[in-house]
Structure 1
Amino acid sequence: MKPISSLAPPPRPVNPFGTLSSPQPDGTSKVPKSGIDSFAKLLSDQVGNVNSMQNNADGMVHSLLTGADVNEAEVLTAVQKADLAFRMLLQVRNKLIEAYREVQQIQI
């Protein structure tokens, strides 16, 4: 049997929230701005990407309807990609709203 002194200390627990600090005595928590800003930037960028995909698809449909030399398969693919991206964005929005409502219902 090994003596107790040779045991290694237990590993430190993993913090899944990164650098979030514990709540302050006044009930607030200091959250680093970089995390909030990067998440907001990520969402904003994705909304912009979906918007540009939809604008591109609309332009291709307009070109097809006005008789321009456009491949129908490319137009259909662009419309389907824009539709799929928009549906995905709606699902992300729905999940965020659902999470927000769950947090609102937490009783302190």
Structure 2
Amino acid sequence: MVDSLGLIQQGNGSGAIHNAAWSRASGTKPNDGPSFNDVLKQNLEQVNQLQQNAEMAIEDLVSGRRDDVASVMIAKQKADLAFQMLLQVRNKMLAALEEIKEMRV
């Protein structure tokens, strides 16, 4: 899979989340990398910025300040793709939460 938007970070993927959870469960000290909360917050800000850039590009095109339709379409597609990816992350998190709720202790 190609990450043309730069939203997937190799060191901060599910492996980092798994390692942090395993470290806490085993009683060892977690690594000093960014927390899941920080990574999620950073990605939310990136998606928000992409959406704002797309809206600004559309406004510029409509008002006549920009005449490059292709760049506006690319900005809009990037924002849409990033938002769809964010929704999939949310869906996976909700599915994991439901799975955890169903576990017997």
Q: TM-score over 0.5 for the alignment?
A: yes
Give 1 or 2 for the bigger CA radius of gyration: 1
Tell me what 1:75 maps to. Answer: 72
Letter in 2 for 1:101: E
Tell me what 2:23 maps to. Answer: 19
Unaligned runs of 5+ in 1: 1-15, 23-28
TM-score between the two structures when normalised by the length of structure 2: 0.71
Question: Which structure features the higher share of helix residues?
Answer: 2
Q: 1:107 to 1:30 in 2, by over 3 A?
A: farther
Taking every aligned residue pair, what percent have the same amino acid on both sides?
38
- Which 4+ stretches in 1 moved above 4 angstroms? 29-35
Count of residues in Structure 1 that have an aligned counterpart in Structure 2: 86
Tell me what 1:41 maps to. Answer: 38
Separation in structure 2 between the aligned mates of residue 46 and residue 32 of structure 1, nearest angstrom: 22
Structure with the greater relative contact order (CA < 8 A, sep ≥ 6): 1 or 2?
A: 2
